[in-house]
Chain A
Amino acid sequence: MIQHIDVRAVLQESVSGVYADLVTRPTGRVVRERIERAMAAAQGDAAIARIDFTGVGCIDYSCADEIVAKLSRSRPAVLVLTGISDAHREAIDPVLAGHRLAALIERRDGTLEAVGAPEAAARLLADLVSRRLAARTPGGTFALTLA
């Protein structure tokens, strides 16, 4: 099973509903803790957590670290990031690389792309394939096997 987490909704429950940006470390911490609680509640049922950033404006480095890096490190489930814009990647990629971590981004066409440290990215993809959670597509890319 794939658990879907709407980050914008979590953000708006966490801070004033008028803001769409993931900025500041306290905000990142509150959002991550809510995501962790949601993942803990689904533990055992969800092999993959699809963390959806659709509708999130700016992500700063502090929030990228507090949310993506810390969730990637604790790995309560396999994290797949969706709704990621180029601007989101600008913050997420160097933060993960700095920690020698990686995360998977699911593109609109369903293919997976790893960001962060290349070695960690290769390990992450290999792990997913070995657990049959992802498979190579005819085009040579990777995609999740679960819907």
Chain B
Amino acid sequence: MTRLVEVPAQFDDRSFDQFAGAVAQATQDGERLLFDAHAAEWASPYGLVGLLAAGQAARGTGRADRPLLTAPTQAEVLTYWTRAGFFREAAELFEIHGKVPRAKAADDSDVLLPVTPVRAAEDVHSVVSKIQERSSAILASKLGLDPKATMGFAMALSEACQNIVEHAGTGGWVAVQAYHWRRKLAKRVVVIAVADAGVGFRHSLEPTQSKRFGARWSDAAALEAALIQGVSRFRDPGRGQGLAGIRRYVTRWEGKIAIRSGTARIAIVPRWDDDVPLRDGLPAFPGAQVLIIIPEQGSTKP
């Protein structure tokens, strides 16, 4: 028996909860999963790395067979997913059905960093090195970012990736893309998406933080402790700098950070967005999924 999980036609952080709900429901009886993306029309970097995390979680259930994935049927969607490096990573996790174009290098300037695995500190070095080569000019010329902000972008990316290495207990993926966000902001944005299907914030922080919160301890409390209070699972007083640094960076450049883990999602919401700061009671999804958006500077410049 195979359980169907529909991949939303417009797959981004907004539709991710719908996807997570479908995954949670389909995994209840341990059957093989079929991720159906045939009708996908668009996926953000967040959607792509989130889909890989779902595949990672499905592989981690102990089943001998891999979950199935039906590839998008629209040619331009397939081309984009390929260019974004999705299928190169998906091939290890899914049994893919449908025609997938041969992998091409991501030479499009909008794909600043194709979907890239992050398993160890060495991968973070590689990611930071690549992003500086590819993105500095684009961030400065197309997004009007100050050179200080472009270096800060690499710092934020490094810290977001290290979250996987230090806390997930497994590998994950990162992708960075610049695009024109007509629907929401009518501006160009650069987006960092990081996802894993590891232990999540609640489990990572539980040994050091759960007593402090008592009965209030939850995924939402763990996210709040990590992002707002800057706590870490390590007792070293210098820990917790990473997310605090990202928060300072996005606030300074009127950007956004949202982290989903388990059944909760927390966000630092800029004035151009109508997201809510904290959501609880969402469909459970393993690990952590991080979204960072930095908008083109101009009228939003501090």
Contact = CB atoms under 8 A, between A and B. Distances in A.
A joins B in a complex:
yes
Interface of A: 15-16, 18-21, 23-27, 57-62, 64-66, 69-70, 85-87, 90-91, 94-95, 98-99
Contact of B128 (A18, A58, A86, A99): A58
B129 to A, nearest CB: 6
B281 to A, nearest CB: 32
Dominant SS among interface residues on chain B: helix
Nearest 3 A/B pairs, CB to CB: A87-B151, A61-B245, A65-B238
Nearest to B237: A99
Dominant SS among interface residues on chain A: helix
Given A58-B158, A61-B244, A94-B248, A23 B132 contact: no
Contacts of A27: 121, 125
Contacts of A94: 244-245, 248
B154 A58 contact: yes
B209 interface: no
Contacts of A26: 121
Interface string B121-163: 1101110110010000000000000011001101100110010
A90 B244 contact: no
B151 A16 contact: no
Interface of B: 121-122, 124-126, 128-129, 132, 147-148, 151-152, 154-155, 158-159, 162, 165-166, 237-239, 241-242, 244-245, 248
Nearest to A87: B151
Contacts of B154: 21, 23, 57-58, 60
Given A58-B158, A61-B155, A87-B152, A19 B238 contact: no
A57 B127 CA distance: 13
B238 A24 contact: no
A94 B242 CA distance: 11
A45 B86 CA distance: 56
A24 B162 contact: yes
B169 to A, nearest CB: 16
Contacts of A99: 237-238
10 contacts: A15-B122, A21-B129, A23-B158, A27-B121, A57-B128, A57-B132, A58-B128, A60-B155, A65-B241, A95-B245
Nearest to B248: A94
B159 A61 contact: yes
Contacts of A15: 122, 125
Contacts of A59: 155
Nearest to A95: B241
